[in-house]
Amino acid sequence: MPRHVTITQKAFEAIDKKLAELPEVKPEQRLLSMRESIDKLKPRIRELRAKGYSLDMIAEQLGIAGLKVKPSTVKLYARGLHTKPKKQNISKP
């Protein structure tokens, strides 16, 4: 297999045109990565933590719901669940 693939300008333009004509993907068809999924679930995870659920229990429930994830992954991706938002330093003149 060649290391460097080249195409003609005409072929490039045809590819570019075809890509430009593709429709937008509907929100329900978009794929989410594990990180994106956990990020969108952070508010719900916070609620569950406030109700006394451990990360192990949350990971188990996520798996039952169809999102197979290890507790360590939930912890890693949902970092900052227990911390208050950091204040931005505003420099004084």
pLDDT in tens, 15-64: 999 999 999 999 899 999 999 999 999 999 999 999 999 999 999 999 99
Domain-located, residue 53:
yes
Domain-embedded: residue 52: yes
User: Is 45 in contact with 61 (CB distance < 8 Å)?
Assistant: no
Q: How many domains does the chain have?
A: 1
pLDDT at position 63 is 95
Contact (CB, 8 A) for 39 and 77: yes
Give residue 70's pLDDT band: very low, low, confident or very high (50, 70, 90). very high
Q: Does residue 46 sit within a domain?
A: yes
- Check residue 85 and give its pLDDT: 47
This prediction has a pTM of 0.61
Q: Is there a domain that residue 72 lies in? A: yes
- Structural domain including 50 reads 32-81
